Amino acid sequence: MLLLGLTGSIATGKSTVSSLLSHPPYSLPVIDADLLARKVVEPGTAGYNAIVRYFGSTTPDLLLPPSDPSSAPNSSSSKGRPLNRPALGRRVFGTSEERIRDRKVLNGIVHPAVRREMYKQMVWAYLRGHWAVVLDVPLLFESGWERYCGTILVVAVSDPAIQMRRLQERDPHLSEEDARNRVLSQGDVREKAERVVRRGPGRGIVVWNDGSKDDLKRDVDTVMGELRKSSPKWWSWLLWACPPLAGMVGLVSWWRMRKVQLKWEEEKTREKAKL
């Protein structure tokens, strides 16, 4: 089973591509890290309790008020009130040392729990005989998932101004500063595009989403057609029928992609040392 990593940056069109892949003619299972990140911090979970302990004393509006219409009907139960995600976002998004530190703390709480849920869903997709599963992870490179993916698809835009405009159109409550902080916090998507191309043909794909949704759909159709040819049905069924072979193929892919990852990181370290 192919692990197809899907990433990009905020407001580049990644969610649109994820939706396309989850519907016919592809109908691929999509493991959405953002959705899982919400699930693992619901009231009563270990993640929720850890966030409240760390951020509660310094973020007065961390929890939604009992009367907030976006709260669940039973949000005032003994499990606690839901997190006020915009307030938490304002606390961790940004480039200051304090915000970077708090974002690392939040990621340290959420990422391990999300990773466990992703493993469960990947195993289930394999057992159901899917030829590929989409790992929809905004911070795929930063969270270390790069080496596990046989192919990575980056949805990118050529101009940061496009991201800013789309983000504020989608979330009109965000100020220009908030929108800029969220874009900056996820890194330069053009660097992600450069990085994924280094994986080689068929293993690293970039879809430039500067145009309309129809243009994006056409590009995705082209990309997926080529990708399906490189992973024929007979190969998918062979891997499903022979788990040891699937494990061996996965291990070889992991080793190759790890080498690419380490080489990229070494080059970036040398570049920073020259500055």
Alpha carbons 22 and 19: distance in angstroms, whole number: 5
How many alpha carbons fall within 13 Å on the CB side of residue 39? 13
Alpha carbons 222 and 220: distance in angstroms, whole number: 5
Instruction: Please report the pLDDT score of residue 176 as a whole number.
Output: 82
Which residue in this structure is represented by tokens 């590929």? 132
Instruction: Please report the pLDDT score of residue 75 as a whole number.
Output: 44
Amino acid letter, residue 12: T
Alpha carbons 275 and 272: distance in angstroms, whole number: 5
For Cα atoms 127, 240, 25, give the angle at the middle one, nearest 5 degrees: 80
Strands 30-32, 204-208: pairing is unpaired
Instruction: Please report the pLDDT score of residue 219 as a whole number.
Output: 96
Instruction: Please report the pLDDT score of residue 77 as a whole number.
Output: 55
CB 26 within 8 A of CB 130: no
Which uninterrupted H or E stretch holds 268?
helix 243-274
Instruction: Please report the pLDDT score of residue 78 as a whole number.
Output: 66
Alpha carbons 86 and 53: distance in angstroms, whole number: 18
Instruction: Please report the pLDDT score of residue 76 as a whole number.
Output: 45
- Starting at the edge strand found earlier in the chain, the sheet holding 132-136 runs 30-32, 132-136, 2-7, 151-156, 204-208
For 12, the token pair is 């580049």
Distance of CA 181 to the CA centre of its chain: 18
Which of helix, strand or coil describes residue 157?
A: coil
How many alpha carbons fall within 13 Å on the CB side of residue 225? 6
Domains of the chain, first to last:
1-29+130-275 (3.40.50.300), 40-128 (no CATH)
**Per-block average pLDDT, block size 10, for the chain (275 residues)?**
92 93 95 91 91 89 74 58 87 85 90 90 91 91 89 92 86 82 79 92 93 93 92 87 91 92 89 78
Which of helix, strand or coil describes residue 216?
A: helix
Amino acid letter, residue 93: F
Instruction: Please report the pLDDT score of residue 149 as a whole number.
Output: 94
